[in-house]
Amino acid sequence: MSETVLLVGGGGREHAIARALAPDCDLYACASNRNPGIAALAEGFETISETDAEDIVAYAESVGATLAVVGPESGLAAGVADALDDAGVYTFGPQAAEARIETDKAFQRQFMRDEEIPGNPDFATFDDMEAACDYIDDYDGDLAVKPAGLTGGKGVKVIGDQVTPEEAKAYLRDSDYERVVLEERLVGEEFTIQAFVADGEFRVSPAVQDHKRAYEGDEGPNTGGMGSYTDVTPSLPFMADGDYEAAVEVIEAVVEALPEYKGILYGQFMLTTEGPKVIEFNARFGDPEAMNTLPVLETPFIDVLTAAREGESLPELDFAEAATVCKYAVPEGYPTDPEAGAEITVEVDEDADALLFYASVDDREDGLYTTTSRSFAVVGVADSIAAAEELAEDALADAGEGFHIRHDIGTAALVQRRIDHMAELRGE
């Protein structure tokens, strides 16, 4: 019997999930925005907010869903997985209590401390912003300032990198944050490992490096992620022997400490001279990182979902030995002053090993237009990072006007800068 899967979410990440599932199931989807890529793959698409648990359950029941996947953290935080599970639709995504590992950064750090999870930086939590400012004054070294709640990756200010101590204090005093975490600034190179988790078991995927800064050369404000790459191996070129495995051990410790956890566990690491340290955990695939990982997953994703639901051992995951480079096209001015309304006319020849994923687009009668969020991404898949980068650029050649793209992502020059940065920190 074919499974009927409801996918919640309408971004590039969910387009990648839809592409991984569609050949093997009856797919339905819902999101607040109509994603034309997902709609083309699904048998039904409803416009429903990702946080509207009641309407999502009603839609799941009306289509006879046997499984669900929740893409975005907003839905997990709103208890969409809890509601679907309660309605008898097994959901690959943690319930709100387990999703706190992402949705409450104060909980996340304290959980790591209590469970003795390796890789936790020095941290302190404050409800009183004046006390937080005093801590900044007294702290010996640089700090990262983080609101405890969800901010789409855009609320963090790193002293010594993005802001001065005075600017960080002004930021806290001007904010209406109820709780903030101040933590040791980690220095190194960032990478992500996404694990598929159920019943106390997990399977990992290759490391990905995202690019948070809006502009080339890692300048400008933080974004949800401008693009990302993976290598042919599970590791990345700037990582040394044992670094990937050390990060997997962190994930293993989290899975052991959270036996109820199900769904994707996304570990965001800073590779420091002391090995990988945890920047944060997310309770879902990364966006863009899902677009690197799922196209090279050769094991049917549906097999992971059904094994998880049945309480069976998860299948071993096979990944193609291919590198991937993902580049987002975002509206000009993103993220501070994004200009919506540019027409999206990009076409990608998917036989040429580049893939097109839609994100936030305005699907009007006369065409597709940009909104104020990330618009679409292309992903090159090839036998080296350089070749994948070239495929992504070829696909972007006809992107049209009104977009900003970080053309440096995945280039040999930027990858070499990452390698040189780690070598310099290690004193090589």
Decide: is 214 part of the binding site for ligand AMP (CB under 6 A): no
218 is an interface residue for ligand AMP by CB under 6 A? no
Binding segment toward ligand AMP, per CB under 6 A, in 179-187, 244-252, 370-378, 389-397: 179-187
Q: Pick from ligand AMP, ligand GLY, none: which does 183 bind, CB < 5 to 8 A by kind? A: ligand AMP
Q: Which two tokens mark 13?
A: 């990440």
The SS3 call for residue 115 is: coil
For residue 332, report the phi and psi dihedrals to the nearest 5 degrees: -55, 140
Residue closest to ligand AMP (Cβ)? 144
* Strands of 79-163, DSSP E: 90-92, 123-126, 143-147, 157-158
Q: Identify what 225 binds: ligand GLY, ligand AMP, none; CB under 5 to 8 Å per kind.
A: ligand GLY
The residue ranges that bind ligand GLY (CB under 6 A) are 153, 210, 225, 282, 286-289
Residues in the chain: 428
212 lies in the site for ligand AMP, by CB under 6 A? yes
| Residue 249, amino acid | E
Interacting partner of 278 out of ligand AMP, ligand GLY, none (Cβ under 5 to 8 A depending on kind): none
Query: What is the footprint of ligand AMP within residues 275-304 (CB under 6 A)?
Result: 279-280
Does residue 121 belong to the site contacting ligand AMP (CB under 6 A)?
A: yes
Looking at residue 95, its amino acid is Q
Please state the closest distance from residue 425 (CB atom) to ligand AMP, in A: 13
Closest CB to ligand GLY among 192 and 370? 192
Q: In the numeric block, which tokens belong to residue 370? A: 């940009």
Contact 185, 162 (CB under 8 A): no
- Using CA atoms, how far residue 128 sits from 104, 147, 285, 341, in Å, is 17, 12, 33, 41
- Who contacts 160 (Cβ-Cβ below 8 Å, separation ≥6)? 142, 185
Site string for ligand AMP, 3-22 (x = CB under 6 A): --------------------
CA-closest candidate to residue 239, choices 117, 418, 385: 418
Of the pair 120, 228, the CB lying nearest ligand GLY is at 228
- Contacting residues toward ligand AMP, per CB under 6 A: 121, 144, 146, 153, 156, 158, 183, 185-186, 190, 212, 222, 268, 279-280
